[in-house]
Structure 1
Amino acid sequence: MYLFPMLALYFCLASYSMIIQLWSRILLPLVILMHYLKGEETGIYYIDSTKLAICHNTRPSSNRVFNRISKIGKSSYGLFLDFKLHLIINNKGEIMSVKIRQ
């Protein structure tokens, strides 16, 4: 059955608290990896942004994790409490730059 191997992989995933503890050790290798995976400069770029939701829109005051650094924003979807992900790719679909903003 297909479900049981996938269920075993689920329990191997790091928990949220473990990710928070490891974040300071993970950040520098991620930045280095993104630098080496950056695509070639072609002169034609596409920019897009999307929201990274922190919590549901009906309860932003109950958020405790990012309450000091996140801001309430407004988009065509309405008000939200989250960050914005800005992604720049070239005409070949290769990632050129990634930025997460408030």
Structure 2
Amino acid sequence: MHFHQSHYRNFKAYYLEYVLERLRPEFPGLVSYNRFVEFIPSVLVPLCVYLRTRCLGTCTGISFIDSTALAVCKNPRIHAHKVFAGLAERGKTCTG
């Protein structure tokens, strides 16, 4: 989880430069990067089960939020657009 919040662009650099260097006192049994990669297939199913059972919250009715701006219509067709007539303006998206 920390890898995604770090400045590292790939996991190998993160593991070699951060985990092995700075986290060794917290995790004394750390393995080499090659050995770590070999372990991935054997722990994938248990990890998925753990994430599915322990890390999912209860659904509150909002399951997905996407803030991607969707253009209402292209500018050449702005006068022919009838769905958002009166609302659509140049440069406006579905988020305002």
In the superposition, the TM-score normalised over structure 2's length comes to: 0.35
Higher relative contact order (CA 8 A, sep 6+): 1
Relative to its length, the structure with more helix (as a share) is 2
Relative to its length, the structure with more strand (as a share) is 1
In the superposition, the TM-score normalised over structure 1's length comes to: 0.33
